[in-house]
Structure 1
Amino acid sequence: MRTAIALIRKRLDRAGIVLSGLCAVHCVLGIVLVGFLGLGGGVLLSPAIHRVGLGVAVGIGAVSLGFGVLRHGRIAPLVIGGCGLLLMAAGILVSHGWPEAVLTICGVTLVAIAHLRNLQGHCAPAR
């Protein structure tokens, strides 16, 4: 049972890393396609996509990073991930374009770093 839980935690951390990367790609493509080419604004800039993405990030982050603290006793990944989620939330509150993209990309970068550190903590001996 313990192995299954560890496997789930690792998969959630990996999912968090992949989703962070996809979010960053979405931001960059959104600016390029909408800003420079005038394409896809209705879909790419939809507030619903951003709210759902933030909700998924908060859910995955809370579970995997929270369990990581319980497993290896390191709070740093949770704090780093929390800061990243705050930046992502701030990105929802500003206007579309560069301010949103910068906040969101900085946020997802911190979230990915937190998940990477959490995965490294899985390899460390439990305290």
Structure 2
Amino acid sequence: MNVRHGARAYARMGIESGVMSASPHKLIMMLFDGGIGFIRAARLHMQGGKVAAKGEAISKAIDVVGGLSSALDHERGGELAGRLEALYDYISDLLLKANLENSVDRLDEAERLLADIASAWREIGEPVAEHANG
């Protein structure tokens, strides 16, 4: 039991130090990865009939999507930031409905959309970050 507790504490410390040393681009990628992970966990809980765990995972995914939305820079991002905000709102709505309706299809759509945005962020984020620093 103590070994598990120590392993969890070590893992938490690793995550915390990863967050502390991450670039803004990397932090956003961590949010995307976390959100997708919570959606996948929700799907497994849904399929296993674990209602409380499903709800908790979906709630965490919604929090992550909210964090992504709040990180948008509307001044510099203009129309694109507005469109992303609308898409994040749509994803949150999908997640809420997935929870209420036990809909794997809605979870799948939310995950696909989040993964698509993450993929685009991966492709354009690093060069932009490197250009800004270089």
TM-score between both structures, scaled by the size of structure 1? 0.56
Question: Is 2:24 the counterpart of 1:32?
Answer: no
Q: Which residue of 2 aligns with 1:122?
A: 132
How many residues in Structure 1 have an aligned counterpart in Structure 2?
101
From 57, 63, 70, the counterpart of 1:44: 57
Structure 2 distance, partners of 1:99, 1:122, is 33
1:72-92 per-residue CA deviation (whole Å, 9 max, x = no partner) reads: xxx9xx94x765544332112
Q: Please tell me whether the aligned partners of residues 24 and 104 of structure 1 are also in contact (alpha carbons under 8 angstroms).
A: yes
Q: Please tell me whether the aligned partners of residues 54 and 88 of structure 1 are also in contact (alpha carbons under 8 angstroms).
A: yes
Structure of greater Rg: 2
1:13-57 per-residue CA deviation (whole Å, 9 max, x = no partner) reads: 2211111111111112221222x22221221123x751x323321
Q: Unpaired segments of 5 or more residues in structure 2?
A: 1-21, 99-106
Q: Please tell me whether the aligned partners of residues 34 and 61 of structure 2 are also in contact (alpha carbons under 8 angstroms).
A: no
Question: Is 2:95 the counterpart of 1:91?
Answer: no
Secondary structure of the residue aligned to 2:23 is helix
Structure 1 distance, partners of 2:124, 2:88, is 14
TM-score between both structures, scaled by the size of structure 2? 0.54
- Give the 3 Å change call, closer, same or farther, for CA 123–57 of structure 1 in structure 2: same
Q: Unpaired segments of 5 or more residues in structure 1?
A: 1-9, 70-74
Which one scores higher on RCO, CA 8 angstroms, separation ≥ 6? 1
1:81-125 per-residue CA deviation (whole Å, 9 max, x = no partner) reads: 76554433211223313233323333343344443343233255x
Q: Which residue of 1 aligns with 2:17?
A: none
Shift of 1:62: 1.9
Secondary structure of the residue aligned to 1:45 is helix
Report the structure, 1 or 2, having the larger helix content: 2
